[in-house]
Amino acid sequence: MKKSILLFAVALGMLTACDPIKEDGSMKIDSFTSSTLLDGAEFSQYADQACSTPQADGNWIKYNVPKATSVYIYYVKADGSEFKLTSGSAGGVFNFVPARGSDPLQTVYFRFVNANGDEVIASKEFTVQVAAELKPEVRLIASNAYGKKTWKWNVGNNTSSGHVWGNFGADGSWRGDALNDFVWWGVDDAADLTGQLGHSVTGQAIGEESNDATMVFTEDGLVKCYDANGSEIRNGTYEIKGWTGDNHDGFKYGVLHTSEGATLFPFEINAGGRYVTDYWIYSLTSDQMILVYPDNGAFSGWSEGTYWNFKSDSDVSGMMTNYGSKTWTWNVGNTTSSGHVWGNFGADGSWRGEFLNDFVWWGVDDAADLTGQLGHSVTGSATGEENNDATMVLNEDGTVKCYDASGSEIRSGSYEIDLSTADGWKKGTFKTTEGAILFPFEINAGGRYVTDFQIFHISGSEMILTYPDNGAFSGWSEGTYWNFKAK
């Protein structure tokens, strides 16, 4: 087994503690130095929480610090902040999995504060396994592609009657089709949360009461909240417990456990001012997160609960593939390109307007009508993609396959997403091999494949791609658009 290297740090300062209770006018006060706190301490590493499988670089670390009555154990993140691993008992087990790309040799700190408030910090190095990939639930909440993800209030949603925070009633025995089935009341505009400060802990508005307030989850367990101006409101930590994947456990898919006040407006309704730290995950996808909290943390028959509805549009890769594979089809009858699925538009790329509708000139409403547009294709032949039920499947590994309405493969290819090209018009570039997606032809170009699609719009349910004439806007010029929806 590889031996760990022992390091000791100088005490960093003093913490205030309650005065010790004295008996007969005297009391022994534990006093250590950074070089003696870990004297006699025992550590062992394991591959599992039960500590049944020893492993030299195991992420489960069993410890015993006999000189102390209790310890606070943490490590220091790259940004200089502390991340708590465990606290309390001087013996136990903690889990430590460094973020992707970290050095396997990591320093863990042990803080002890005696009854006089004297603080001592010692440190020890452990060689541990570094995360090769994120857990599925962390991919969704913090983005596998970017390692952090921005969430904000889901104003105008159709999953909680348009509300972003409020109360509902349920007994937890069934979920219905959506949270709508349970909602009693809610706030439609986050600005109205200023009228709900009686539910908060402090009773003070701090900037989270805005539709443009945000919270950022990172892959290494941090949360930071910002007001509409981008100023930090507060920060904290999180972990997801009991994630069940595609199969919900009754009313929830798992529990989002946070430090106090880590998320936006983290208060239980009608509780007189109480933080929620164990949110039930009612829904978590690449672009939506609905959290709930039953009264006092558990349903008691039919009882009240609090809900929070958030959305994210920052995780382009996640929304395209849902971090696995995702099927897209023609977005027939949409409201974002005048109902059309393919056609032309005019723009100069300097502004976006509200929707692509502001730029659309003409388009095909029914994909079957693409058979009349084969003069724009490369081969001039129908392949089956000219059907409302044709599909394309984007896989996280960068491959794409197109299918006709019967499920027979039409063609396949590969793709990559380049967000470095983002500007006022687009979120980035969707680069493909020739012919990789459905009807991948530039309009009025005499038969030419498009391989550098602009990502004009992407959500968990809709994807609009554009391509300006010859690949770049030249003043006000023509372009081609494609409108897809998730199947």
Q: Residue 309 CA to chain centroid, in angstroms? A: 13
- Judge if 60 and 156 occupy the same domain: no
pLDDT digits (tens, 9 = 90+) for 324-339: 899 999 999 999 999 9
Do the beta carbons of residue 76 and residue 65 sit within 8 Å?
A: no
**Does residue 7 have a pLDDT over 50?**
no
- Judge if 202 and 298 occupy the same domain: yes
Residue ending a domain, among 69, 92, 127, is: 127
**What is the pLDDT confidence band of residue 397, given thresholds at 50, 70 and 90?**
very high
**Residue corresponding to tokens 């509300």:** 163
pLDDT digits (tens, 9 = 90+) for 227-260: 999 999 999 989 999 999 888 888 999 999 999 9
Which pLDDT score is estimated for 241? 94
- Judge if 239 and 346 occupy the same domain: no
Do the beta carbons of residue 400 and residue 394 sit within 8 Å?
A: yes
Which pLDDT score is estimated for 13? 33
User: How would you class 142 by CB atoms within 10 Å of its CB: exposed for 0-12, middle for 13-18, buried for 19 or more?
Assistant: buried
**Does residue 4 have a pLDDT over 60?**
no
Residue type for position 47: A
8 or 174, higher pLDDT? 174
- Judge if 123 and 144 occupy the same domain: no
**Does residue 26 have a pLDDT over 50?**
no
**What is the pLDDT confidence band of residue 322, given thresholds at 50, 70 and 90?**
confident
Q: Does residue 391 fall inside a structural domain? A: yes
Residue ending a domain, among 255, 282, 314, is: 314
Q: Strands of 209-253 (E only): list them.
A: 214-218, 222-226, 232-241
> What is the domain-level CATH number for residue 21?
2.60.40
Which pLDDT score is estimated for 31? 67
CA atoms within 13 A on the CB side of 456: 29
Q: Does residue 155 fall inside a structural domain? A: yes
How far apart CA 138 and CA 240 sit, in angstroms, is 8
Residue type for position 463: M
Q: Does residue 291 fall inside a structural domain? A: yes
Q: Does residue 1 fall inside a structural domain? A: no
> What is the domain-level CATH number for residue 187?
2.40.128
Q: Does residue 294 fall inside a structural domain? A: yes
Q: 78-82, 184-188, 223-227: which has the minimum mean pLDDT?
A: 78-82
Rounded to the nearest integer, the mean pLDDT of the chain is 91
Which pLDDT score is estimated for 248? 87
- Indicate the helix (H) or strand (E) that contains 149: strand 148-153
**What is the pLDDT confidence band of residue 30, given thresholds at 50, 70 and 90?**
low
**Residue corresponding to tokens 């793709």:** 415
Q: Does residue 457 fall inside a structural domain? A: yes
Q: 17-21, 179-183, 372-376: which has the minimum mean pLDDT?
A: 17-21
Q: Does residue 97 fall inside a structural domain? A: yes
Do the beta carbons of residue 366 and residue 389 sit within 8 Å?
A: no
**Does residue 17 have a pLDDT over 60?**
no
- Judge if 82 and 16 occupy the same domain: yes
- Judge if 21 and 117 occupy the same domain: yes
% of the chain surpassing 90 pLDDT:
79
Task: Average the pLDDT over 471-481 and give the result.
Answer: 95
How many domains is the chain partitioned into structurally?
3
- Judge if 345 and 460 occupy the same domain: yes
Q: Does residue 32 fall inside a structural domain? A: yes
Q: Find the domain containing 72 and state its range.
A: 6-127
- Judge if 297 and 383 occupy the same domain: no
- Judge if 467 and 381 occupy the same domain: yes
Task: Average the pLDDT over 435-456 and give the result.
Answer: 97
Task: Average the pLDDT over 51-78 and give the result.
Answer: 94
pTM: 0.76
Residue ending a domain, among 110, 127, 144, is: 127
User: How would you class 99 by CB atoms within 10 Å of its CB: exposed for 0-12, middle for 13-18, buried for 19 or more?
Assistant: middle
Do the beta carbons of residue 127 and residue 2 sit within 8 Å?
A: yes
Q: Residue 431 CA to chain centroid, in angstroms? A: 24
Residue type for position 263: T
- Judge if 348 and 408 occupy the same domain: yes
- Judge if 202 and 349 occupy the same domain: no
How far apart CA 90 and CA 103 sit, in angstroms, is 27
**Does residue 10 have a pLDDT over 60?**
no
- Judge if 42 and 145 occupy the same domain: no
How far apart CA 28 and CA 45 sit, in angstroms, is 34
